[in-house]
Chain A
Amino acid sequence: EAGVTQFPSHSVIEKGQTVTLRCDPISGHDNLYWYRRVMGKEIKFLLHFVKESKQDESGMPNNRFLAERTGGTYSTLKVQPAELEDSGVYFCASSLKTEQYFGPGTRLTVT
């Protein structure tokens, strides 16, 4: 069974540009989560989808971040425009019930 996959593994963009991160959850997992780890800090919750609906987006930092999960399968997280403080590792996780399975993360560097 394939695990959670994320694309790209690494992205380097300039301040002001747009980046879209993609997450493919484990097949059949209705729950999908986004987390972020900024350099040297804790992993922080961003939001939670149940199928295509946003269940909790209390962790989204501001309106430059937009998450979607059309059709309830894969999800994208768009940052527009990117700022220097957006640099970090973005993790996606999925779950059937309680145990969350994490992807390897996307390392985003904004210069």
Chain B
Amino acid sequence: AQSVTQLGSHVSVSEGALVLLRCNYSSSVPPYLFWYVQYPNQGLQLLLKYTSAATLVKGINGFEAEFKKSETSFHLTKPSAHMSDAAEYFCAVSENDYKLSFGAGTTVTVRA
């Protein structure tokens, strides 16, 4: 069975500071892993996706995530936060590349 745990429901960072969102997964097979972002009143937008091609995945808007099998983790980072990064972020796992299991989400606020 597949599942995801996101550590921290809320993260507050200063503009220009590192953004680090934690995600741990459980999967009985090599997983597909995703990070999605939801801005207010919008749908979920794919930030990046891990499909076993490379352990460090680069996404849109300067975000990247590293797959660590030994830690069953897929943490999302961005070196320098921007005000426009304020949103809710979801980590998701899939064992078959169509049925997504999401974490509870992490809301990011960016302080000026």
A interface residues (Cβ-Cβ under 8 A, vs B): 3-4, 31, 33, 35, 41-45, 48, 55-56, 58-59, 91, 93, 95, 98-105
Indicate if the CB atoms of B46 and A100 lie closer than 8 Å. Answer: yes
Please indicate which of the listed interface residues B51, B98, B104 has the most CB atoms of chain A within 10 Å of its own CB.
Answer: B98
Indicate if the CB atoms of B43 and A48 lie closer than 8 Å. Answer: no
Contacts of A3 in B (CB 8 A): 43
The interface size of chain B toward A, counting residues with CB under 8 Å, comes to 21
Indicate if the CB atoms of A45 and B99 lie closer than 8 Å. Answer: yes
Indicate if the CB atoms of B100 and A100 lie closer than 8 Å. Answer: yes
- How many angstroms between the C-alpha atoms of A56 and B100 in the bound complex? 12
In-complex Cβ contact of B45 among A42, A98, A102, A105 (8 A): A102
List 25 A-B pairs, Cβ < 8 Å: A3-B43, A31-B98, A33-B100, A35-B100, A35-B102, A42-B4, A42-B101, A42-B105, A43-B102, A43-B105, A44-B102, A45-B99, A48-B99, A56-B98, A58-B99, A98-B51, A99-B49, A100-B46, A100-B98, A100-B100, A101-B43, A101-B46, A103-B43, A104-B41, A104-B42
